[in-house]
Structure 1
Amino acid sequence: MKSFFTFLILCFVAVGVQAQTNNSAYDKALADSLGADDYGMKQYILVILKTGPNTSTDKAQINKAFQGHMENIGKLVEQGKLIVAGPIGKNDKTYRGIFILNAKTKEEARAILATDPAVKAEFLDADLYDWYGSAALPMYLPIHNKLEKKKI
């Protein structure tokens, strides 16, 4: 009877080990460096930028806020906080663009957004959502740098 239980325990251990490492391409060091879970995924915050309550028509103020917005995007990318950014085409909502922030909580994301001059000036407002996506997402940025002829 004792050997039967030993056999069962060994079977469970073998199945558990196989379940943990069933991908021969798995790179633990890379997964750890990107904050990946067992599925190669991680938590981000999806931000939908929309038109804010500031209805000023002062072109100088608007230009300054949006120039600062673009500069801030570059800084956040360099800091590893902003993973994806881009405008949304004309729509029947007030949606203007999206960010995917490398943040674990909405509070952390709000602190990141507070650095954006267009958000501070209330030309942009933001809706935040928890988003679970590939931990490899930040790796496209160095490749993108090789694709753009013109810097924003």
Structure 2
Amino acid sequence: MKKVIFLIAALGLASACNQSRDIRGIPGPEEVEARMPDTIPNIGQEAEDLKNKGYQTFVYEDGGEQYLMQQYYIVFLKRGENRDQDSTVAAQLQQQHMAHLSRMASEGYMSLAGPFGDDGVIRGIAVYNTPTLEMADSLARLDPAVQAGRLEVEIHPWWAAKGTELK
């Protein structure tokens, strides 16, 4: 009897682990490909409009699909050398830092920002949507936490397809 129960339990476990991707919620390659953005209408016109505003772009083609790639700027917000503020000043700087990031997003200069989950040297990132590295650098350095020396910035150009999003 114990062998029968063990066999039934083992078969049940094996079948549960062998569920289809749809049931477990993990997409297969064909589903991921199907979720990729379709060809952007008027991709040439959008590329030209961005170029006229000073942005760097190119069109990437893959499997009959076209993607308008744009250069963004990733700002690494790193631990600054001046972190000895008292808790009240540190809290005020954090509030001002968050207000700065919110303003950058609402004015369209920043596409994405967030902190890292560890206590490392790199505290967070912000992805700036500006035509030049100099503009991204200037805007990032307006951050009150950067101006106070609590954070430092390190900026790198980064390419991403227009219209893509985090999932």
Same fold (TM over 0.5): yes
Please say if 1:108 is aligned against 2:135: yes
Partners of 1:75 and 1:118 in 2: CA distance? 14
- Name 1:86's counterpart in structure 2: 114
For 1:56-95, list aligned pairs within 5 A. Answer: 56-91=84-119, 93-95=120-122
Match of 2:58 in 1: 37
User: Residues 59-106 of structure 1, C-alpha deviation per residue, up to 9 Å, x if partnerless?
Assistant: 121111110111111111111101010111215x40100111012322
TM-score (norm 2): 0.61
Query: Which residue of structure 1 aligns with residue 42 of structure 2?
Result: 28
Task: Give the Å deviation of 1:30.
Answer: 9.5
- When Rg is computed on C-alpha atoms for both structures, the one with the higher figure is 2
Structure 1 residues 86 and 32: alpha-carbon distance in aligned structure 2, compared to 1, 3 A threshold: same
| Distance in 1 separating the partners of 2:95 and 2:40 | 42
Q: Where does structure 1 differ by over 4 angstroms across 4 or more consecutive aligned residues?
A: none
Q: How many residues align?
A: 116
Counterpart for residue 130 of structure 1: 157
Contact 2:75 2:140 in 1 (8 A): no
Gaps of 5+ in 2: 1-37, 51-56, 61-67
Amino acid at match of 1:71: A
Give 5+ residue unaligned stretches, structure 1: 1-23, 142-152
Structure number with the bigger relative contact order (C-alpha 8 A, sep ≥ 6) is 1
Aligned to 1:37, what secondary structure does the other structure show?
Answer: strand
